[in-house]
Structure 1
């Protein structure tokens, strides 16, 4: 089936591609589709699972010949720039992935991949609000401040996420807020206001899912794909992108610079971007691949967004200089 053991660094040979990603339901879905390609091509795909993009970049940097491709979020591209002189990822040859044309034009030029020669857009991921329909009804960031949710809200324990969604709540552009002292302080104040009903902060998706399942939380910051997983388990939850907007953790496919299997990676990516395969993968992991003229199977996904401009994109070159202060402020709010 082409599935390797998570946690073991795998190697590439002429009959194997090595893929590194963040595990969970998403990578399980990718395993299944990639196994179909393996049956056709005769080339297996091994899977390495990591906790986050920082670990992903660290492993690739330490073992550049051991991995062939991955799907980072924006933070990994920033790490590649800051710490590795943009040497970890290869420039994408779009001529080798003709089916990428099936992706909607506006998403092919989304901020994650616009002017970024190393990535092609993969799927939409947003960080909005999940709520228990038997105990809550929310549609905006202001709603989580309502007294009726006292001690029933959980948010992500991430200073950057909290700053980003606080900017979204205020209608601020993150870049402008990061470079304007008054707007920055407004966003910090909004972080504090959104904290008032919080009983705990979560660090991993499985944690907020547990809090919702156990009805400890009526409202949680989270990802729509996970909300759909809860719905499939019979949980009475809904996901909403708040009316003010929210941050996105959308991903892109990249090819590792040191891979000697680039041609095979391109063939696999071209297979994934075949329209039927992209729909199949979206249905499996719940994160929409934004096809041109998308079918209902994609537009009905909780996180489907027609226009990338409707989401809040983090420019890490603006955020990195502020990270220490953001962490300190975030910790002070929780204390």
Structure 2
């Protein structure tokens, strides 16, 4: 079925202006997607596991299966959709991927969302519906936010600041993300710099990499996948980790002595939104699933499962108790990925130099 045959589509801007309800989740289909199934492509791990469980409830009600494909990161996700657009229905890009969608794919992979088809999207706070990474386009709906701060072993560390991880006592027990953009963004936060300003000012750019070298002094390894840093912290090879709040909660629930802090200087903010693939012929079904996911009870189930806050109006304790929860988008640091992505190759080259020291 196609969307919009018998009604006028509604944009997010219209929804926010009129108070109407709207929201959409990125939906991508996999090989074999047909009238009795829709295909979802996303990053793996605990987040995808939680989504599988809640989406299965919708399948039981609707009779439509959701097939799942897991990828390593958002770049691979976009590449697969671009190469095989007819095989995907929806997905959940992060804010950097939405920037890539515009810069690398001319905003052609995803369809403009008909927010009127997702009345339960009204359960998301208005300020988060218009979060910075969604402004200027209507290709996604807000899903959840998380942060990349400091996870730590509570028996050996108690950091509150990025400066704390430079303490000589933490030599060879620190692991940071093996990602040039993430490291650049977090180091900018540490130095109270706007990354967009730093990439356009030679002196500030060098200041950032000088600080990255200072942080490197205590690093015994850089991690690439979330499971890797969790293992290092769990096995007490690392006492301090540049990690995510939700995964830290998973370790804490398993009775490991861990804590998490958003450093006082701020840190990289990740947020995701659902997006619907332009080539999908199952848009009506995707909208119905998204509407199901935005029901309060189901949104809470998702948050409990992956431990990241879905920003509901009047959120329950199960959501406000998340390590990554903040009430307002202005309380976290947002980055202009449109400015950072064009110099990704240079960032990676310089980051490799830091790691080789």
TM-score, normalised on structure 1? 0.95
On the 8 A contact 1:112/1:121 being kept in 2, the answer is no
State how far apart, in whole Å, the 2-side matches of 1:320 and 1:277 are. Answer: 34
Aligned counterpart for 1:137 among listed residues 158, 180, 197: 158
- How much does 1:103 deviate? 0.7
82-91 vs 295-304, greater mean Cα deviation: 82-91
Matched, 1:52 2:73: yes
Aligned counterpart for 1:98 among listed residues 93, 98, 119: 119
Q: Which residue of 1 is the match for residue 56 of structure 2? A: 35
Aligned counterpart for 1:83 among listed residues 104, 112, 115: 104
Aligned counterpart for 1:125 among listed residues 142, 146, 149: 146
- How much does 1:318 deviate? 0.8
On the 8 A contact 1:11/1:67 being kept in 2, the answer is no
**Partner secondary structure for residue 235 of structure 1:** coil
List runs of 5+ in structure 1 lacking aligned partners: 1-7
Matched, 1:207 2:228: yes
Q: Which residue of 2 is the match for residue 197 of structure 1? A: 218
RMSD: 1.3
1:265-286 residue CA offsets vs partner (Å, 9 max, x unmatched): 1111111111111111100110
**Partner secondary structure for residue 132 of structure 2:** coil
1:150-190 residue CA offsets vs partner (Å, 9 max, x unmatched): 11100001111111001111111121222222222221222
1:97-152 residue CA offsets vs partner (Å, 9 max, x unmatched): 11111111111111111122101110112100000001111011010011111111
TM-score, normalised on structure 2? 0.89
Q: Which residue of 1 is the match for residue 289 of structure 2? A: 268
For 1:151-162, what aligned pairs fall within 5 Å after superposition?
A: 151-162=172-183
1:180-209 residue CA offsets vs partner (Å, 9 max, x unmatched): 222222212221122121111000111101
Matched, 1:284 2:321: no
On the 8 A contact 1:11/1:65 being kept in 2, the answer is no
State how far apart, in whole Å, the 2-side matches of 1:247 and 1:303 are. Answer: 11
96-105 vs 181-190, greater mean Cα deviation: 181-190
Q: Which residue of 2 is the match for residue 324 of structure 1? A: 345
1:305-328 residue CA offsets vs partner (Å, 9 max, x unmatched): 222222222322211232222112
Q: Which residue of 2 is the match for residue 234 of structure 1? A: 255
On the 8 A contact 2:194/2:335 being kept in 1, the answer is no
- How much does 1:227 deviate? 0.3
List runs of 5+ in structure 2 lacking aligned partners: 1-28
On the 8 A contact 1:10/1:48 being kept in 2, the answer is no
State how far apart, in whole Å, the 1-side matches of 2:106 and 2:187 are. Answer: 32
**Partner secondary structure for residue 271 of structure 1:** helix
State how far apart, in whole Å, the 2-side matches of 1:156 and 1:59 are. Answer: 24
Q: Which residue of 2 is the match for residue 180 of structure 1? A: 201
